[in-house]
Amino acid sequence: MSKPSAGDRAYRAGPEAAGEVARLLHDFNTEFDAETPGAVTLAHRLTSMLAGPSTIAYLIRDPAVGVALLTLRTNVWYDGPVALLDELYVAPQHRGNGLGSAIIHRVLTDAINIGVSAIEINVDQADVDAQRFYERHGFSGKDPDTGERAFYYALEL
């Protein structure tokens, strides 16, 4: 893997970049055959979400080829907010060049600077590449106290 160049620094994206963030999120879901409401709908939602304090997006390169999306929430067990890394995506033709690492490093740096207490990520069981990526960056899929495997459950309403 090559190292990212100086021009490959991830940057925080505001509401004005909602269309670019939406395009990459739509591409992500399309690549993995997941449902997507479409880039236009995502951009509409993101415009207001990115203007608020609880949704943060990062892009890398111009035009952007990678994105991370975080949402923040309060949690009784922590002094600071807990972040959910909703998505981290680098376009296929740009993978293997350290861009994902550059994005996650920026996410972690900013999270520390704004007082985030924990970052949570949901990774599919079969996605061993993503699991290795996150483990390489300090994340664990096990409970730190018991060593038991962590599981994610969901119910769409």
pTM: 0.92
Q: Which class in CATH covers the domain with range 10-121? A: alpha beta
What whole-number distance in Å separates Cα of residue 127 and Cα of residue 150? 15
Structure confidence by residue, pLDDT tens digits, 136-156: 999 999 988 899 998 888 888
What pLDDT, on the 0 to 100 scale, is given for residue 4? 52
Which segments of the chain have a pLDDT < 70?
1-7
What whole-number distance in Å separates Cα of residue 72 and Cα of residue 123? 18
- Domain residue ranges in the chain: 10-121
Integer CA distances (angstroms), 13 to 50, 55, 70, in order: 8, 10, 11
Question: Phi and psi dihedrals of 71, rounded to 5?
Answer: -125, 140
**Angle made by CA atoms 51, 17, 10, in degrees to the nearest 5:** 100
**% residues pLDDT > 70 (the chain):** 96
